[in-house]
Structure 1
Amino acid sequence: MQFDIQQVEQFILLLVTAVVIIFLLKVIMKYRKKKRLLRSNIYDIDMLSGEDFELFLFYYYRKHGYRVKLTPLTHDFGADLVIKAHGKRIVVQAKRYKERVGIKAVQEVIGSMAYYKAKQGMVITNSYYTQSAYVLAKSNGITLIGRNALIRMINEDTVLLP
Structure 2
Amino acid sequence: MRPSSLREKLLELYVEQNIDEVDKYDMVSAQRCVINYLRKKYDDKKIRRILDDLHSKHDLLNESKELKKKAQLSQYIDSIVLSRIRDSYKSSQILDIDSLDSVKFKALVKQVLIHFGYDILFVPLYNLNNIDIIVHRKDIKIAVLAIKGETGSLVGLKTIRQLRYIANYYHCEQGLILTNTYFDTEAINEASNISITLLDRDKLIPLVQDLVDGRQEKDKEYLIDEIEKQEDSIFLEGEIKFPKTKVQVVYVKYYIDDDSSFLTFEGKLFNSGKRPASNISVDIKLFNRNNDCIYMKNFPLNKEKLESKEEISFKFYFNEIPREDWENLCRYQLKLEYKNTYKE
What TM-score results when the alignment is normalised by the length of structure 2? Answer: 0.35
Match in the other structure for 1:35: 82
| Amino-acid identity (%) | 24
1:136 aligns with one of 175, 182, 190? 190
Take 1:50 and 1:42, find their aligned partners in 2: how far apart are those partners? 19
SS at match of 2:155: coil
Q: TM-score, normalised by structure 1?
A: 0.70
The equivalent position to 1:113 in structure 2, one of 167, 184, 203, is: 167
User: Contact between 1:93 and 1:105, CA under 8 Å: does it hold in 2?
Assistant: no
How does 1:28-107 map onto structure 2 within 5 Å? Answer: 29=76, 32-39=79-86, 44-68=96-120, 69-75=122-128, 78-98=130-150, 99-107=153-161
Gaps of 5+ in 2: 1-72, 212-216, 225-344
Query: How far does residue 64 in structure 1 lie from its aligned partner after superposition?
Result: 3.5
- Equivalent residues in 2 for 1:13-32, closer than 5 Å: 29=76, 32=79
Letter of the 1:161 counterpart: L
Q: Residue 30 of structure 1: CA displacement?
A: 5.3
Structure 1 or 2, whichever has the larger Rg, is 2
State whether residues 106 and 137 of structure 1, in contact with CA within 8 Å, keep that contact through their aligned partners in structure 2.
yes
Structure 1 stretches of 4+ moved >6 Å:
none
| Residue 11 of structure 1: aligned partner | none
Q: Do the aligned partners of residues 92 and 30 (structure 1) sit closer, same or farther apart at CA in structure 2, a change above 3 Å counting?
A: closer
Q: Indicate the structure whose relative CO is greater, using CA pairs within 8 Å and at least 6 residues apart.
A: 1
SS of residue paired to 1:109: helix
Q: Return closer, same or farther for 1:114/1:101 CA change in 2, 3 Å cut-off.
A: same
Q: Distance in 1 between matches of 2:149 and 2:191?
A: 18
**How far has the Cα of 1:44 moved from its partner?**
2.3
Q: Over residues 105-146 of structure 1, what are the superposed CA-to-partner deviations in whole Å (9 max), with x where a residue is unaligned?
A: 212210111121111111110111111111111121211100
Contact 2:112/2:208 (8 A) holds in 1: no
Q: Describe the shift of the 1:135–1:30 C-alpha distance in structure 2 as closer, same or farther (beyond 3 A).
A: closer
Contact persistence 1:38–1:60 (CA under 8 A):
no
CA distance in 1 between counterparts of 2:187 and 2:99 reads 24
Call closer, same or farther: CA 1:109–1:29 in 2, change over 3 Å. Answer: closer
How many residues align structurally? 135
- Give the Å deviation of 1:42: 6.7
**Deviates further, 65-74 or 39-48:** 39-48
| CA distance, structure 2, for counterparts of residue 91 and residue 71 of structure 1 | 11
2:205 to 136, 139, 151: 151
